[in-house]
């Protein structure tokens, strides 16, 4: 399989909850108002130390998207997904961006996220 080379990040980071591998910088957050099957999620411009699964079409609350699940390169746990293609014009801003599930990441202070119960826009998959 080969050696895994990890990208180190400086500043406030978000890490894999399971193995504490750096995944993204706080400054890369685009939106904190996303939802997934397992709860809340964050939209990021860029993430590191992930590997992509197969590309698939997925119907979400905001419409049909072409996505790939992303996994922590260290422990192999699924941490979110990447938008490859948005089929609706209003959703094109998501293309090339990543969603990390809040229940699967921790902040750089090694604490779990505060769960915000206020309503917000969502992009959950239909159950």
Write down the CATH number for the domain with range 13-107.
2.170.150.20
* CA separation for the pair 80, 48 (Å, rounded): 12
| Structure confidence by residue, pLDDT tens digits, 1-11 | 567 789 999 99
β-pair partners for 34? 41
Confidence of residue 62 (pLDDT cuts 50, 70, 90): confident
Q: How many CB atoms lie within 10 A of CB 4?
A: 10
| Structure confidence by residue, pLDDT tens digits, 69-109 | 999 999 999 999 999 999 999 999 999 999 999 999 999 76
**pTM tops 0.95, yes or no:** no
């Amino acid at each position: 399989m080969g050696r895994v080379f990890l990208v180190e990040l400086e500043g406030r980071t978000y890490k894999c909850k399971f193995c504490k591998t750096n995944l993204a910088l706080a400054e890369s957050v685009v939106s904190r108002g996303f939802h997934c099957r397992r709860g809340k999620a964050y939209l990021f411009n860029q993430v590191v130390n992930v590997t992509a699964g197969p590309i698939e079409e997925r119907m979400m609350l905001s419409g049909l998207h072409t996505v790939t699940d992303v996994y922590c390169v260290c422990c192999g746990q699924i941490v979110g997904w990447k938008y490859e293609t948005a089929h609706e014009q209003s959703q094109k801003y998501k293309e090339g961006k990543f969603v990390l599930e809040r229940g699967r990441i921790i902040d750089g202070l090694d604490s779990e996220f505060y769960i915000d119960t206020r309503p917000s826009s969502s992009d959950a998959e239909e159950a």
